Chain A
Amino acid sequence: MHSANLNVNGYVRNERVTRRWGVRLHLLALLAKEPAHGYELKQALEQTFGTAYPSPNIGQIYVTLGRLEKDGLVRAVDVEQSNRPNKKVYYLTAKGRDVLTDWVDEPTEGPRVRDEFFMKLVLAPLTGIADRMALINRQRRHYLALMRDLNELAERTDPGNQVALLLIEGAMLHLQADLDWLERCQEDLT
C-alpha cells in the first residue's frame, strides 16, 4: 500500500476505507499497550467488548497483522518456544504510532442518514411498485422489530458489562432517531 493511503485524515472521510481500516486500528491500539501475538489480540478484543463486539476470527486477525506489517505499521519478531513452532510477536513501529495518534485525535464522522431507504422513498412514486406510505410503514415495523431484538439482547447481557450495554443503548438511540425521522418523512412526503 502506498503511504498516501495511510493518511488517517483521508480515510475517516471515506466510509468504505474506514470499514476496511476498522480492525487494523483496533489492533494498533492494543499493540500500543504491549507487544502481542495474534491470539492474544483476539482475546484482548473479546475481553474488552464482551458480547458487544463482533469478534474477528483468528484468520482475519493474522491477515490484518500481515497487512499492517507490509505497510510498516507493525513489525514482527519470531520468539522461540520449546517443543513448539516459533510464534510471531508483533509490536508497533513509530509509523504505526503516528497513524494511531491521528486516528485518536481526529473527530469521528457521525452516522449518516439511511441513504438507501431515503432513495427508495424519494424515487418510489416513479417506480409504481410501492407508494411512500407503504414504504414508510414497512420500514417502521422493521425498525421496531430491530428494537425488540435490542431489548432482548439487553436483557440477556451481563449487567456488569458496561461496554456492551452502552453499545446496545447507543444502537437504541440511533434507532429511535431513525424512527423519529421516518415520522417526519411521513408527515411531509405522504
Chain B
Amino acid sequence: MTVLKTVNLVKIYQNNHVPVPAVRGVDLQVDEGEFVAIMGPSGSGKSTLVHMLGGLDSRTSGEIWLDGKRADTLSESAWALLRREKIGFVFQFFNLVASMTVADNVELPALLAGASPKEARERREYLLDALGLTERVEAAPAQLSGGEQQRVALARALSNKPSLLLADEPTGNLDSRNTRDVLRLLNEVHREGQTIVLVTHDARVASLADRVVSLLDGQIVDDGKIVRRRPGRGGAGEVIDLR
C-alpha cells in the first residue's frame, strides 16, 4: 500500500519579489513499511520537501497524498488534524516543549490525536521503556543530554502511532555515541513496520534505509535501493583495507 505520494510537487519562495525555486517537480512514492532517506547538498530542497510532506510548509503547486487522501488541498486546520493523526515529525533541534516534563511531551501528540489519557499514558510508558528513558519521565528537557532529548523527540513522534515518520537531520546535532542510539532505534521501529522518510547528510543514517533519494537543485537525480554487497560475516579485514 502507498502511504505517501507526491505529484509534480513544487515550492517557490519569494525573495524580495524574486521567485526562488526550492523544489522543482518532485514525484515520490513511498510504500507502507518502507524506509526512504533523502540526501543532497544544502540548498537542494530536501528540508523544504520534508517540511511540505509534514504540512509545516505550504506547496506552491502539485499534489501530496497521504494514506490515499489528498492532503495539500486541505484547509490549514484540516491539515493540522490530519497531521496529528497520521504523521510523526523529528527535528534536528528536538523542539521539545521546555515547560513540560518528558512524560507530558511524549503523551501530548497521542492526546491531540484523540487517544484517552489512559491510552496516551500506556503508549508513553511503552515508548520510553523501549528507549531506556523510563527513569527520566519527570525530568524537564533542559535536564537531558542531547542524545536523551533526541530519543524523547523520537518517542514523541511515535506516540500517535503515525502512518508516516518524518525526520529532518535527526542526528545532525549528536555526537557519535548518541547517533548510535538513534540509529539503533530507527532500525528497530523500521523492522516493526514503521514507514520512515528522513532527510540526512549522515551516511550512517542513510545506509539503514531501503532506498535513497538524491536531490539536486530541487529535483530528484537518483532514486534507488541500497544493494547488499555481501552476507554479514567475518571481521573488519574484509571491509577495511588497512595499509
A170–B234 alpha-carbon span in the complex (Å): 19
Interface size in chain B (residues, C-beta < 8 A): 34
With beta carbons under 8 angstroms apart, the residue of B41, B227, B232 that contacts A145 is B227
Measured between beta carbons, the chain A residues less than 8 angstroms from B208 are: 148, 151
CB-CB nearest 9 A-B residue pairs? A54-B237, A51-B235, A147-B207, A137-B222, A148-B207, A52-B236, A152-B232, A147-B203, A145-B229
User: A53-B242, A141-B222 provided; 14 other pairs, C-beta below 8 A?
Assistant: A50-B235, A52-B236, A54-B237, A141-B224, A147-B203, A148-B226, A149-B229, A153-B235, A153-B239, A180-B201, A186-B216, A186-B221, A187-B41, A187-B216
Interface residues of A in 124-172 (CB under 8 A from B): 133, 137, 140-141, 143-153, 156-157, 164, 167-169, 171-172
Is B118's beta carbon under 8 Å from chain A?
no
Grouping DSSP codes into helix (H, G, I), strand (E, B) and loop, the B interface class, with mixed when no group exceeds half, is: loop
Is A183's beta carbon under 8 Å from chain B?
yes
A183 pairs with B41, CB closer than 8 A? yes
Measured between beta carbons, the chain A residues less than 8 angstroms from B226 are: 141, 144-145, 148
**With A54-B237, A186-B41 given, is the CB distance from A146 to B204 under 8 Å?**
no
Is B243's beta carbon under 8 Å from chain A?
yes
Tier of interface size on chain A: 35 or more
17 contacts between A and B (CB under 8 A): A22-B243, A53-B242, A54-B238, A133-B221, A140-B222, A141-B226, A145-B207, A147-B203, A148-B226, A148-B228, A151-B183, A153-B239, A167-B240, A168-B236, A171-B236, A171-B240, A176-B204
Is A93's beta carbon under 8 Å from chain B?
no
Write the residues of chain B forming the contact surface with A, with a CB cutoff of 8 angstroms: 39-41, 176, 183, 201-204, 206-208, 212, 214, 216, 221-222, 224, 226-230, 232, 234-243
Grouping DSSP codes into helix (H, G, I), strand (E, B) and loop, the A interface class, with mixed when no group exceeds half, is: helix
Min distance, Cβ B213 to any Cβ of chain A, angstroms: 11
With beta carbons under 8 angstroms apart, the residue of B201, B214, B230 that contacts A140 is B214
